Structure 1
C-alpha cells in the first residue's frame, strides 16, 4: 500500500508539472519549462523511492502497470477538476480495456 500511495503522490506532481500550464497560455514558455522542471524534481524524489520500495513486493512489469493505472486515475481527476474537460464514454471504454490489461499482467497463469 505504501508503494501505491507514493506512486499516487508522485503522479499528482508529474501530472501537475505536465499540464498545469495549459490554463496559462500567456505565460512565456521558458517560465513554464522552469516551473515544470521544479515540480517534476519533487515528483522524481517520490517516484524513485516508490519504485525501490515496491520492488520488494512487485516485479518491474507489475510496478509499471500499477504506475500507469495510478497515472491514468490521477490524470482523469486532474483533467475533470482542474482543466474542466468532459469525460466521454470512449475514454471510459479505453480505460476499461487498460484495466483488462492489468488483469492479464497480475494473473498467475
Structure 2
C-alpha cells in the first residue's frame, strides 16, 4: 500500500486540497453577490495563492510518476468531484441527470488517458 508521501498518492492529495481552494476562489463569491466585483476579484486572488502553493508541488512531485497529461486528467476529475460537492452543499444547487452524464463522459475520457499506462 502506498504511503501518503508516495509520489503516486501525495500529488492526488495536494491536488484535492488545491481544488478546494480554487473552487472557493472561483465560485465562493456567488454567495456574496452584493460585494463589489473588485473586492471579490482581490479575495479570489488571495484564495488562489493557496491553491497555487499546493498545485505546483503536486505537479512537481507527481511528474516523477505521472505524465503531464495524466496529472491534468487527475486534476480535472478532482475538480469535477470537488465542484459537484461544492455546488450542492455551498451553493445549494441541484445536480441533474444531464450533469451526471456529462461528468461520466469526462470520467470515461480519464479512463482512456490511463489505458496502456506502463506498469
TM-score by length of structure 2 reads 0.89
Counterpart of 1:100 in structure 2 is: 108
Counterpart of 1:49 in structure 2 is: 57
Is residue 6 of structure 1 aligned with residue 31 of structure 2? no
TM-score by length of structure 1 reads 0.97
Counterpart of 2:25 in structure 1 is: 17
Matches within 5 A, 1:57-68: 57-68=65-76
Which one has a larger percent helix, Structure 1 or Structure 2? 1
**4+ residue runs of structure 1 moved beyond 6 angstroms?**
none
- CA shift at 1:99, angstroms? 1.1
Distance 1:43 1:95 in 2: 23
Aligned residues: 109
Gaps of 5+ in 1: none
- CA shift at 1:23, angstroms? 1.1
Other structure's SS at 1:86 match: coil
